[in-house]
Amino acid sequence: MDLLTWLKAFVLGVVEGATEFIPVSSTGHLILVGEWLAFEGDAAVTFSIVIQLGAILAVLWLERLKVIRSLAGWRDDPVARRFLLNLAIAFVPAATLGFFIHDFITERLFDPVVVAVSLVAGGVAILAIERWHGPATSSTVDDLTPCQALGVGLAQTLSLIPGVSRSGATIMGALGLGVSRVAATEFSFFLAIPIMFAATGYELLGNLDLFSPELVPVFAIGFLVSFASALLVVKAFLRFVKRHTFVAFAWYRIVFGMVLLWFYAR
> Quick one: CA dihedral 21, 23, 27, 28, positive or negative?
negative
Contact (Cβ atoms closer than 8 angstroms) between residue 44 and residue 183:
no
pLDDT at 229: 97
pLDDT at 1: 58
Number of other CB atoms surrounding residue 265 within 10 Å: 8
pLDDT at 240: 95
Q: What is the dihedral of CA 206, 165, 8, 106, to 10 degrees?
A: 30
pLDDT in tens, the chain (266 residues): 578 888 999 999 999 999 999 999 888 888 889 888 988 776 777 788 889 889 999 999 999 999 999 999 888 999 999 999 999 999 999 999 988 887 888 788 888 899 999 999 999 999 999 999 988 999 999 999 999 999 999 999 999 998 999 999 999 999 999 999 999 999 999 999 998 888 777 777 766 666 667 778 888 999 999 999 999 999 999 999 999 999 999 999 999 999 999 988 87
Backbone angles phi, psi at 179, to 5 degrees: -95, 140
pLDDT at 209: 66
Domain layout of the chain by residue ranges: 3-265
Contact (Cβ atoms closer than 8 angstroms) between residue 119 and residue 163:
yes
Residue 238 to residues 139, 195, 205, 214, 223: CA-CA distances in angstroms? 15, 20, 33, 38, 22
pLDDT at 208: 66
pLDDT at 207: 67
Backbone angles phi, psi at 61, to 5 degrees: -65, -45
Which of 223, 219, 251 shows the shortest CA–CA distance to 58? 223
Spell out the long-range contacts of 66-73 with Cβ–Cβ below 8 A and sequence spacing 24 or more: 66/190, 67/190, 67/193
Which of 123, 140, 99 shows the shortest CA–CA distance to 252? 123
